[in-house]
Amino acid sequence: MTEATAEAGNPLVPLEEEGPHPKPSVALVVAVVLTAILEVLDITIVSVATPHMLGAFGATQDQITWVLTSYLVASAVVMPLTGFLSRRIGRRRLLTSSIIGFVITSALCGMAWNLESMVVFRLAQGVCGAPLVPLSQAILLDAFPREKHGQALAIFGVGIMVAPVLGPTLGGWLTETFIWRSVFYINVPLGLFALFLAAGHLPQSPTHKLKTDWTGLLLLVFSIGSLQFVLDQGQTRGWFDSHVIQFFTGIAVFGGAAFFMRGWSKPDNIVDLSLIKDRNFLAGLLAIMAYGVTLFGTVALLPLLVQRLMGYPPMSAGMLFMPRAIASAFVLALTGRVLLRYFDPRLLVSVGIILSAIGSMMLANLTLQADAFAIAFPGVIAGIGMGLFFVPLTTVAFGNIPRERLDEASGLFALTRGIGSSLGIAVVSWLLARQGQIHWSQLASHVTPFNPEVPSYLDKAGLDPNSAESLALIGGEIARQAALIAFVDLFWFIGIVTFAILPLVLLMKRPKIGTPVLAGAG
């Protein structure tokens, strides 16, 4: 392959002139997409089972959060090391060993006998599962020629963008139909199937004798691990009122600063930071992190709203996500195969952002009497937006990345998406509690004997204003209305944050006129 004389930084001008590229094996595509789905799905599907673990392990609400925290911290620490590990032991060996480890630890999680064993097994599961998503993306991009990267990313996007939305549905069905442990056991047959396909169709890749940058590794582990701990445990521990959160925030800030200052110009750094000197890749990292905030913020909010306030059972609540997932999957495929042929990817990203924001703001109009259509339709709009957003953004972000650095770039991309997801869940959880308290105080201040609406409300309910039952009824209604208003505030907030991603599109290099768009050329 020879270097092409292309405009530096242009995401749509190929970096290499490629000869004939073998058609990727269907089995290989299925294997890598399935492994990515398993890892991403495991975050949201397990959250459905945590209430059942409370009783099974005799744990408190604060203690059970470690089932999620341990997995997320381990995954966040190992994920940016994907490129280093891939070059050190080979891509094929890393993928197959990660799948084997993920399958074994999933089975162990299903057999956990107490909270301590579950946390240890989840920690190991996070370590094993961390390389799966970035490796899957890198393998797909390497298997397809550059002009078909849009199609490859559409296939990959169906897995990693739709899976979190389907997690609550699948988790609810498994726990209601079988037992809560089945959310872990489901990984075993699917993982073994993916392993069989990957072992038979993923070619060997060269290995390199690399010197391990132990100082950089320690800084990365402590900074990323501390950041993930703060995001996941902050709400439970009262954020910065807690000395523990203050301590780990300090480690995250100073450790991260030291890692970047030390590794910015260091050629053998544990993570190649020169990748983020590419303007398109940096803009893509920031955009996918911000979008992760909004996507997982919505995924965290909607089940709470429809189950706690509207009374939907878990399975029915999960089904409300299905239209969003279907719309997103359809548009992802359409974008990768058709739309990128004719439209500037920056335009598609912008339209996707706008539709995603509109979908969130439509949810801000929900009432407690809203029907299923009123809940699901905004999700369809947001799902279309998600389908338009992911493929063009990733195509542009990776347009300048050489093939030999795809593993490292994919690791960084997956890490920032994961941090955005954790940040989204942490922020909406904090704001939901805060806004709920504010609105409860405001509404309660209007409930007095001198307010003519109070006796009228109780009279319609056939209750004595002075009875304990009346006080309980009023208190419960105030709590419901305050919670609903808090949800409304959060959906507006998510919509505004989504709109705020738009300026990042301006940082991306505009395609040269006449240059074929990656996914549509040929």
Burial degree of 146 (CB within 10 A; 0-12, 13-18, 19+): buried
pLDDT tens sequence across 184-239? 998 999 999 989 988 877 777 666 666 666 777 788 788 888 887 887 778 778 78
| Across 346-368, average pLDDT | 91
* Confidence at residue 504, expressed as pLDDT on a 0 to 100 scale: 92
* Confidence at residue 439, expressed as pLDDT on a 0 to 100 scale: 85
> Which two three-digit tokens encode residue 119?
């946390």
Phi and psi at residue 187, to the nearest 5°: -70, -25
* Confidence at residue 23, expressed as pLDDT on a 0 to 100 scale: 65
CA dist 74 → 128, 227, 447, 492 (Å): 9, 12, 48, 32
* Confidence at residue 156, expressed as pLDDT on a 0 to 100 scale: 79
| Across 48-55, average pLDDT | 77
* Confidence at residue 17, expressed as pLDDT on a 0 to 100 scale: 44
Closest C-alpha to 349, from 461, 206, 498 = 498
Domains, the chain, in order of start with CATH, read 10-212+270-437+483-505 (1.20.1250.20)
Terminal alpha carbon distance of the chain: 19
Q: Residue 120: CB partners within 8 Å, gap ≥ 6?
A: 70
- Sign of torsion, CA 329 330 332 337? positive
* Confidence at residue 212, expressed as pLDDT on a 0 to 100 scale: 64
Q: Which residue has tokens 């590419």?
A: 278
- pLDDT of 102 > 90? The answer is yes
pLDDT tens sequence across 270-298? 677 778 888 899 999 999 999 988 887 88
Residue 297 vs residue 351, higher pLDDT: 351
pLDDT tens sequence across 236-273? 787 888 888 889 899 889 888 888 887 776 666 667 77
pLDDT tens sequence across 126-155? 889 888 888 888 888 777 777 777 777 777
How far apart are the C-alpha atoms of 348 and 247, rounded to whole Å? 42
Which stretch of 46-55, 63-72, 291-300, 449-458 has the lowest confidence by average pLDDT?
A: 449-458
Phi and psi at residue 3, to the nearest 5°: -70, 140
| Across 389-399, average pLDDT | 86
* Confidence at residue 266, expressed as pLDDT on a 0 to 100 scale: 67
Query: Taking the model in full, what pTM does it have?
Result: 0.77
Longest Cα pair distance anywhere in the chain, in angstroms? 86
DSSP 326-368: HHHHHHHHHIIIIIHHHS-HHHHHHHHHHHHHHHHHHHTT--T
* Confidence at residue 105, expressed as pLDDT on a 0 to 100 scale: 94
* Confidence at residue 62, expressed as pLDDT on a 0 to 100 scale: 67
* Confidence at residue 427, expressed as pLDDT on a 0 to 100 scale: 83
Categorize the per-residue pLDDT at 479 as very low, low, confident or very high, splitting at 50, 70 and 90: confident
**Percentage of the chain with pLDDT > 90?**
15
**Percentage of the chain with pLDDT > 70?**
82
The 3-state DSSP class for residue 16 equals strand
Which residues are registered as beta bridge partners of 3? Answer: 16
* Confidence at residue 107, expressed as pLDDT on a 0 to 100 scale: 94
How far apart are the C-alpha atoms of 458 and 443, rounded to whole Å? 16
Residue 217 vs residue 469, higher pLDDT: 217
Categorize the per-residue pLDDT at 342 as very low, low, confident or very high, splitting at 50, 70 and 90: confident
Kindly report the average pLDDT of the chain as a whole number: 79
Residue 207 vs residue 308, higher pLDDT: 308
Phi and psi at residue 466, to the nearest 5°: -95, 0
CA dist 447 → 87, 438, 450, 488 (Å): 66, 15, 8, 22
* Confidence at residue 10, expressed as pLDDT on a 0 to 100 scale: 40
Name the most confidently modeled range: 50-64, 246-260, 299-313, 347-361. Answer: 347-361
How far apart are the C-alpha atoms of 495 and 364, rounded to whole Å? 9
- pLDDT of 55 > 50? The answer is yes
pLDDT tens sequence across 311-330? 777 677 777 888 888 888 88
CB 52 within 8 A of CB 108: no
The 3-state DSSP class for residue 3 equals strand
- pLDDT of 94 > 50? The answer is yes
Residue 442 vs residue 69, higher pLDDT: 442
* Confidence at residue 433, expressed as pLDDT on a 0 to 100 scale: 82
In 121-192, DSSP assigns E strands to none
* Confidence at residue 370, expressed as pLDDT on a 0 to 100 scale: 84
